[in-house]
Amino acid sequence: MADGLLAEAVAQVRELIDAARASGDPEPTAMTLATGDARGRVSARIVLLKELDERGFAFYTNYESAKAAQLDELRHAALCLHWKTLRDGVQVRAEGVVEKTSVVESDAYFATRVRASQIGAWASLQSQTLPDRALLDARIAQYEREFEGRPVPRPPHWGGFRLVPDVIELWYGQRARLHDRIRYEQVDRRWSKRLLYP
């Protein structure tokens, strides 16, 4: 069944993250996110994978950041996770279109963050020029005062994106022989699975 293959790929990635966490990887959900703009300029940075299910790979960020501007312009993106010490090295790649998570989801995740991170989401004008570090400290102090004694609400400019995959590829390092690549791909709403030459 086509959806069964997506479920299989997602379950495999979740197992790998759990195994990486169990093996002591300090950032098992760190992933490189590549985005681009309409002129073909490409940019990559690390974000943390916060939710993974058959809907896709969700991460949280500032909706006014450079990455968000690129995602507004070109909805296609790619991401890559790598665990150096798992088995003989494992890589997961995913590609697809990115959409915003629902307001309800963003609120729910924001509520789980530690207070300092919540204040930081208000204080940081992510990707804009910071003329002086003291300005950031002043903005943090300002929002600490503003929300003193009450829960910090989610800023409207902060929330999640979800990469809805049409490609998921698992790459397993092999010390003694060539690596294994397993590519799950969705074409015309049907998922398929095949091996690729390494």
| Contact footprint for ligand FMN (CB under 6 A) | 27, 30, 43, 45-48, 59-62, 65-67, 126-127
Closer to ligand FMN by CB, 62 or 106: give it: 62
HSE-up of residue 108 (Cα within 13 Å, Cβ side): 7
Buried b (16+ CB within 10 A) or exposed e, 5-29: bbeebbebbeebbeebeeeebeebb
Closer to ligand FMN by CB, 6 or 49: give it: 49
Closer to ligand FMN by CB, 37 or 95: give it: 37
Joined tokens for residue 195: 């091996």
Beta-ladder partners of 159: 61
Least spacing, CB of residue 196 vs ligand FMN, in Å = 28
**From residue 130, how far is each of 4, 13, 65, 99 by CA, in Å?**
47, 37, 13, 28
Least spacing, CB of residue 11 vs ligand FMN, in Å = 23
Do residues 52 and 164 touch, judged by C-beta distance below 8 A? no
Least spacing, CB of residue 180 vs ligand FMN, in Å = 27
Least spacing, CB of residue 143 vs ligand FMN, in Å = 18
Closer to ligand FMN by CB, 125 or 167: give it: 125
Joined tokens for residue 126: 């992510």
Least spacing, CB of residue 29 vs ligand FMN, in Å = 9
Closer to ligand FMN by CB, 35 or 186: give it: 35
Q: Which amino acid is at 15?
A: E
For residues 89 and 175, give the distance between their C-alpha atoms in angstroms, rounded to a whole number: 9
